[in-house]
Structures are given as structure tokens and as C-alpha cells.
Amino acid sequence: MRLATGKIAASLARRLVARLLPLRFLPPRFPLARFPLSRFPIARSLIAKVPLAGSLLAGSLPIGPLLGGALMVGLLLAGCQRPSEGIFLELTGRIFVFNYRVATANYLLTFKKVSAIPAGSSIEVLFDNPRGGDRLITRQAVFAADETVAISSPHLSCVKKDHAYAVDVRLVDGQGKQLQEIATSVTSDVDQSVMLPSKPLVVGPVYTPNPDVFKADGTTDFSGEADCPM
């Protein structure tokens, strides 16, 4: 059962409310037909998928017998709704991450689990390669305890400002059967060659200054990549 438009027939509304509330709580001749549920905050909250508690705590629901009945109807309708079949992960973030100290750039995607994922499942992500050539691939297992998932790409070079790079996500089960597919893109607001030097600033486990950047003669080289395709 779905609340598609926020309106419900007056006769159906009266029958539902009558089953849920004693009749003394409803005025005997209240004209329900003149008051579609979409006019009330509770119905709008259900339609917009806003938590019901938020409307209650915000004080947006007037207290009265009619809305008490509307609340019960709304709860009944909401209880009939189910998550869309085949939707296990919701994409919540997609950015480029630039690490100036070690001169690396990566895609980063974040997901929220919205329904149970079969054991043994994994995520496969194909990223456009900003330098060109074959797409980059990351595969990562997903576990039942994971409420959120973060996936990073291999290191990148030649990321261009304002270019939309395509990203394709596949969730597959332990036998390789596809469970869900998400297609999206990621755009940077800076060029990698401007944001990052071409070489790491530090090397080694104790972050020794990189001699290719901090030269023995006292000069430094913070230049970015110069061999990227146009």
C-alpha cells in the first residue's frame, strides 16, 4: 500500500479511523472529504519520508481529535510501505581526495546500507581514468555488520577541473550475481596539477623530506604534472 498523492477517500478514511479510535473522538458529521490528508503535516511528512517524530517534536501537528485520527491512519499507511526491492545501498557521497603531503589523488565514494545484504557480497567499482586508457577497478567485500561503506580508487593523475568522470558501481553476491547497479559521476573543482606537486613532499616511514622536492642546493620543486593529455 502506498500513499502516492497524500489524499485518501473520505469513506475509506472514516472506516480506517473508526476501526482505530472510539467514535467519541470524532465529530459525527466532520466533513473528511474537504480535508485531504496532504493538507496536514503528518501526511506531508510521510510523503517526503521525513521521520514522524520530527513533526511531533517540532510541534507542527495541532492537537485535536481529527488529527489524532489522521495520525493513526498515517501510521497504518506508513506501516504498509516497504523498501524498493533490489535496493541495498544508497550513495551518500562522491568526491576527489587530494593529499598534498604525499601527492596523491583518489576518488572516494560513501554508501549507506538500506537493507540486508547477502553474506559473501562485494562491491565492484569502475572509475574513469583521468589520464586516459583502461578504467580503474576497485573491489571490496561488504559485511553484514557494515552500516556504511567507503570505497577509494587507486591513485590518480591528471584530474581536470569541471570534468565529469563516470563511475559505475555493481553490488554482487558471493556467486557473482548482480544485486544492484549505480551509475554516477564525480567532478573536481580544481586541477590536480594546480592542487598537488608531481612528487611527494615526504618519503619513508618517518616522513623524511623528499630530496627530489627539497633539493640539496636549497631550492624546491613544487611543480605539478606536466605530461597530462589535453
Q: Output the CA–CA distances (angstroms, integers) from residue 28 to 18, 22, 32, 40, in the order listed.
A: 11, 12, 11, 20
SS3 109: strand
Per-residue pLDDT of 90-124, as tens digits, reads 999 999 999 999 999 999 999 999 999 999 999 99
Answer yes or no: do 68 and 126 share one domain. Answer: no
Quick check: pTM over 0.85? Answer: no
Q: What are phi and psi of 38, to 5 degrees?
A: -65, -15
HSE-up of residue 9 (Cα within 13 Å, Cβ side): 3
Of 3-17, 159-173, 203-217, the one with minimum mean pLDDT is: 3-17
Q: What is the mean pLDDT of residues 34-58?
A: 39
- Number of domains present in the structure of the chain: 2
Answer yes or no: do 113 and 180 share one domain. Answer: yes
195, pLDDT greater than 80: yes
Per-residue pLDDT of 124-134, as tens digits, reads 999 999 999 99
Answer yes or no: do 96 and 113 share one domain. Answer: yes
Answer yes or no: do 23 and 43 share one domain. Answer: yes
Q: What is the mean pLDDT of residues 39-68?
A: 39
230, pLDDT greater than 50: yes
Is 214 within a domain?
A: no
Domain encompassing residue 47: 10-80
State the burial class of residue 216 (Cβ atoms within 10 Å of its Cβ: 0-12, 13-18, 19+). Answer: exposed
Q: What is the mean pLDDT of residues 62-76?
A: 37
Which residues have CB under 8 Å from 195's CB, separation 6+?
Answer: 98, 100, 105, 224
Q: What is the mean pLDDT of residues 55-63?
A: 40
Question: Would you say 124 and 139 are in contact if contact means Cβ atoms under 8 Å apart?
Answer: yes
Answer yes or no: do 58 and 135 share one domain. Answer: no
Is 217 within a domain?
A: no
Q: What is the pLDDT of residue 45?
A: 38
Mean pLDDT over the full length of the chain: 75
DSSP assignment of 162-186 equals: T-EEEEEEEEE-TTS-EEEEEEEEE
Question: Would you say 21 and 75 are in contact if contact means Cβ atoms under 8 Å apart?
Answer: no
Answer yes or no: do 55 and 126 share one domain. Answer: no
